[in-house]
Amino acid sequence: MSHSTDHSRLINPLFAPTASDLAKAVCIEDLRVLAQKRVPRMFYDYADSGSWTEGTYRDNESDFRKIRFRQRVARNIADRSIESTMVSVPVSMPVAIAPTGLAGMQHADGEILAAKACEKFGIPYTLSTMSIASIEDIAAHTTKPFWFQLYVMKDRDFIGRLIDRAKAAHCGALVVTLDLQVIGQRHKDLRNGLTAPPRITLGNMLNFATKPAWCLNMLRTHRREFGNVIGHVSGVDDMGSLLSWTAQQFDPKLDWSDIAWIKKRWGGKLVLKGVLDVEDARLAAACGVDALVVSNHGGRQLDGALSSIAMLPAIADAVGNQVELWLDSGIRSGQDVLKAVALGARGTMIGRPHLYGLGAFGEAGVTRCLEILAKELDVTMAFCGHTDIRAVGRDVLHPASIPACC
C-alpha cells in the first residue's frame, strides 16, 4: 500500500466524524488508516488480515502494481462512461460489494448502512451468510434487490431454508462461495479470540475504551450476533451454541453435484465465487451458471496460492467466451478495477475497501469509498485513451506487464 498521504491530518478517531471530514479521505488508504483507529482491534484485524504468513494476501495487492498502463494522447476522451452491467444488472461502474462476514462489527448495523450506500450509488450489495444483520433486515431497509452469498453447510435443511429466505426477500442473485469447505488458519483471529459479540475480557475492555464512538454506536443497536443463523437453526439460540454448531458445519464433501441442487432450489441468477484454477473454471462454467468470480478469498484461505489477478488472464482465455467473469481479491483503487476489466473481467468485487469506509465513517464512508474508486477508474481510463469501460481490453496495458501464469 502507498503511505504517501499525511495521515496525521486525518480526523481525530475518538469522536464521531463530520461531513467535512470526508473530504480529507482522498484514497482507500486514508479510509484504512482511519478505520484502524476507530474499530476495535479484533474486528479490524478480522477484516484486514490473511491466513498463515499472509503471503497471498500481500500478493493480491502487489501483483496489481506490477501491471502497467499504456498512456495515450491526442485522442478524443470526452463523453466518458464507466457504466456497465453485471449478470444483466445495470451498474454505475463494474463493481459490486463482495460478501464480508461481521460487517456489522466494523460499524453498528454495518450491513444495512453499506447496502443503503450501494443502492444510492447504483452498484450491487452482497450480504454474507455470516453477517450480523439478517436477510430480512436488509430487505426492510432497501428498495432494490440485493444479492445473497451462500456458504454450503452440512445441514442441508438449513441451507434450503436460507435459499428460500433469499428468494422471499427478492434477492437478485445467489453467490455461492466454493473455497471455504475448511477454514484457513488466521493467526490474528486466533490471538485476538475473535467472537461476535466480543467476550468481556480486560484486554478487550482496554481496547474498547479507546474506541468510544464505536462503542456508543453499538449500544444503540440490538444487532450484535449472526442474524442469518441464530434463531433459524434448532438448538442455536446464543453465541455459545452458534460457535459449537459452526465449527462442525462447513462441508468438506461439497462437490459439483451440490451446485446442481442449489441451482434447482434457487431458480434465479447464480454466481460461483472462489475459482482460482483453469480446470476448475471449466468445470464451473459447465454448470451453466451466470458468472464466475476469480478469487482466493482475499488471501484468507490457502496461503501460498497465486493472486487472483495473476490467474485472471488464463481463466479468461479458457472460459471467458462461455460465462461472465468477475475478479475479487486485492482491489484497492479504480486503477485496479480497470486492470481487471482489461484482463477479461466483466465486473469486480470489493471487500476490504468498503469495510475501511464503513469503519471510518459508516454509510458515508462506504459512499466515499465508491466515489474514490469511480473517479480513479474514470480518470485512468481517460489517460489510456478510452471513453467506454465496456470497450476496454488488453490494449490499455503494456504487454510486457500482463501476468503470464504458468
Helix (H) and strand (E) counts for the chain?
16, 10
Give the number of other Cβ atoms within 10 Å of residue 37's Cβ.
18
**What burial letters (b/e) apply to 202-236, b meaning 16+ CB within 10 Å?**
eebeeebeebebbeebbeeeebbbbbbbbebbeeb
Write down the catalytic residue from 187, 222, 232, 297: 297
Please indicate whether residue 354 is annotated as part of the active site: no
Give the CA angle between residues 176, 182, 187 to the nearest 5°.
115
My answer on whether omega of the bond before 94 falls inside 30° of 0, hence cis, is no
CA quadruple 127, 49, 315, 263: dihedral sign: negative
Rounded-to-10 torsion of CA 205, 206, 208, 212: 120
CA quadruple 120, 5, 337, 166: dihedral sign: negative
Q: Does residue 137 contact residue 110 with C-beta atoms inside 8 Å?
A: no
Grid-cell match 482507500, residue found: 28
Q: Does residue 101 contact residue 194 with C-beta atoms inside 8 Å?
A: no
Grid-cell match 483471529, residue found: 189
Catalytic residues: 297
